[in-house]
Structure 1
């Protein structure tokens, strides 16, 4: 526990805590936007196509090697 000697120190720490809270809030909002983007069907389709492309290349290589 921190012991304060004057109001200036208290006000300084309160200002720091407020800025840290604001930064954390902005980070949360950014994460929300990111998750909302990830949940869009277009993103799912793109992910599926990327997976299918990688799987297709692996299958092609497997057939070439045999």
Structure 2
């Protein structure tokens, strides 16, 4: 437990903690928007197409090598 000697120390810590809380809240907002973007169907479709393209090119390369 921290012991304070003056009210200025208390006020300083309260301001610092309030700013840290606000920063954490803004970071959560950013994460929320990232998650919201990742859950959109268009994003899922792009991901699926990317993997299908990789798999298809792998199969094509395998046929060419044989």
Q: Summarize deviations over 1:12-61 as a string: whole Å, max 9, x none.
A: 01111001000100010101100111111111111111111111121122
**Matched residue count:** 66
Partner of 2:65: 65
Q: CA RMSD in A?
A: 0.9
> Equivalent residue of 2:3, what SS?
coil
The TM-score normalised by the length of structure 1 is 0.91
Structure 1, unmatched stretches of 5+, are none
CA distance in 2, matches of 1:49, 1:64: 22
Give matches, 1:1-66, under 5 Å.
1-66=1-66
> Which sections of structure 2, spanning at least 5 residues, go unmatched?
none
Q: Structure 1 runs of 4+ off > 6 angstroms?
A: none
